[in-house]
Amino acid sequence: MKRQWFLVGLVALAVVALCVIAYLLFYGNSPADNFASSSEKYGIKLTEQDRAQGSPNAPILMVEYAAPTCPVCAHFDMDIFPLIKKNYIDTGKVYYVFRVYPLSAVDVAAESMARCLPKENYFPFIDMLYHNQPKWDPDGNVIPDVRGALVQMGAVAGMSAQEVNTCIDNTTEQAAITKIGQDAQATYNVNGTPSFIVNGQMRVGASTWEDWQDYLNTMLAKK
């Protein structure tokens, strides 16, 4: 029986690894230029710490505040974002910035791991976490050992258990991630996830691809 469960675990990890490879193939060639430190556009301050996709010269600046443990954020990442990327980010119409708004210490831990990775691996790792929320996210799932589950996610990204623990326990990174959430609340009145700031305008909550398409096209029409 133990051997059977071991084999099941190997298969599950293999599936996760294939998802990461597929993501890298799809997203690997996308530009990810960042603004220089302290630059500003549409009243949004952008820094070298931001993780972004697209051209900074795009007419639309779209900042997403999300949490790795947020199921609505996962839905957006898996079902809507790929379409936005294909139709707006990759075509030079949208510059997309992703920021974590931590809802719990688990979000801080997950983001700490993501920021330990090379920049080009940041988005694939976040995407993998969203696709595998039931395997590590204790919110709504039975996860007896959350850190152990995150170590397993890190292993798929090529991180050792020691590296994962070092990243999670980095107090400087913890403080920086927490501050991003605090600044979002104080500066832009963000109080939940997902929240989007598009050309300085707040857009909150769940929506469909059709909603986003209409919204972004309307924004573009004003340019």
Q: What is the mean pLDDT of each run of 10 residues along the chain (223 residues)?
A: 38 46 44 55 91 96 98 97 98 98 98 97 98 96 97 98 98 97 96 96 91 96 87
Q: State CA 98 to chain mean position distance.
A: 6
Contact (Cβ atoms closer than 8 angstroms) between residue 80 and residue 208:
yes
pLDDT at 40: 87
Nearest to 123 by CA among 219, 8, 1, 31: 31
Looking at residue 10, its pLDDT comes to: 38
CB atoms within 10 A of CB 121: 19
State residue 74's pLDDT score: 97
Please give the Cα distance from 127 to 184 (Å, whole number). Answer: 22
pLDDT digits (tens, 9 = 90+) for 29-85: 444 445 544 588 889 999 989 999 999 999 999 999 999 999 999 999 999 999 999
pLDDT at position 15, please? 45
pLDDT (0 to 100) of residue 39: 81
